[in-house]
């Protein structure tokens, strides 16, 4: 388990000034839902975008986080697809 504020801290370090929406619907510090809107995703495939997030979370993805529902967007995709 990893407290949600520690997960958020890792993400904010890797994606400063980007939109990060993180929640733990089961409130168990094992299962998380994450939305990130970042210019870092520009020109990258969805797999590459997710890999950037996994890298930011490091060993927590192997040990502390059981499930992560992940949505990634560039700012342009967010405006167009999600109506952000």
Structure tokens at 15: 């994606």
Domains of the chain plus CATH, in order, are: 4-82 (3.30.300.90)
- Could you give phi then psi for residue 71, rounded to 5 degrees? -125, 125
- Between 78 and 1, where is the model more confident? 78
* Res 56: pLDDT: 96
pLDDT at 29 over 90: no
- Between 73 and 27, where is the model more confident? 73
CA 56 to chain centre: 9
For residues 58-80, average pLDDT: 92
Q: What is the pTM of this model?
A: 0.89
* Res 6: pLDDT: 94
* Res 61: pLDDT: 87
Rounded Cα distance, 41 and 49, in Å: 6
Burial of 12-22, coded b for 16+ CB within 10 Å and e otherwise, reads eebbeeeebeb
């Amino acid at each position: 388990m990893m407290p949600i504020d520690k997960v958020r801290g890792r993400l904010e370090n890797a994606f400063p000034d980007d939109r990060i929406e993180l929640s733990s619907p089961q409130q168990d510090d094992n299962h998380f839902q994450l939305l990130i809107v970042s210019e870092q995703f520009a020109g990258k495939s969805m797999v590459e975008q997710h890999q950037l997030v996994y890298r930011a979370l490091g060993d927590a993805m192997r040990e502390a986080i059981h499930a992560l529902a992940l949505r990634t967007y560039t700012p342009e995709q967010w405006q167009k697809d999600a109506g952000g």
